[in-house]
């Protein structure tokens, strides 16, 4: 599966596009729609570069979801998982209970795990991440 326009819109609604590199709350250099790989201070992009990299980054997140999830999911569930993976990388982490519950067919327990990922890299709970996790959970539960 691949991310649908609904999933892409969800990601964009929480990722502002910045064309000059900046450090996120965890100190990670970031540019565009949340791209982090190879970014350094002073980097700049055009809007076209940012949009192109978002496509690539979402393809990587979709690949991760396809590899991590062993059960059938709806497009809404997939889109929620892609947004989650794009932002956290959590589905590929060993301790990801969301993945474990989903692969066991425990949809409600899996959905409840989204909100457990509302902290930044330093362990601080962030209201913006809580809003994002709730939006992902709501889309996931639409089935």
Q: Hey, which residues are catalytic here?
A: 15
Question: Quick one: which of 15, 41, 42 has its CA closest to 131?
Answer: 15
Separation of alpha carbons 137 and 111, rounded Å = 6
Backbone angles phi, psi at 121, to 5 degrees: -65, -20
Residue 104 phi, psi (nearest 5): -90, 0
**10: closest CA among 111, 117, 82, 113?**
82
69 class by beta-carbon count within 10 Å (0-12 exposed, 13-18 middle, 19+ buried): buried
Terminal CA-CA length for the chain? 15
């Amino acid at each position: 599966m691949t991310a649908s326009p609904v999933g892409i819109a969800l990601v964009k609604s929480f990722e502002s596009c910045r064309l000059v590199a900046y450090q996120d709350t965890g100190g990670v250099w970031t540019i565009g729609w949340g791209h982090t790989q190879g970014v350094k201070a002073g980097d700049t992009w055009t809007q076209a570069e940012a949009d192109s990299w978002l496509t690539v980054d979402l393809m990587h997140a979709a690949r991760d979801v396809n590899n991590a999830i062993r059960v059938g999911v709806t497009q809404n569930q997939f889109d929620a998982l892609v947004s989650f993976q794009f932002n956290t990388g959590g589905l590929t982490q060993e301790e990801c209970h969301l993945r474990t519950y989903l692969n066991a067919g425990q949809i409600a327990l899996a959905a409840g795990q989204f909100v457990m990922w509302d902290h930044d890299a330093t362990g601080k709970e962030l209201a913006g991440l809580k809003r994002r996790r709730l939006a992902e959970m709501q889309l996931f539960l639409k089935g």
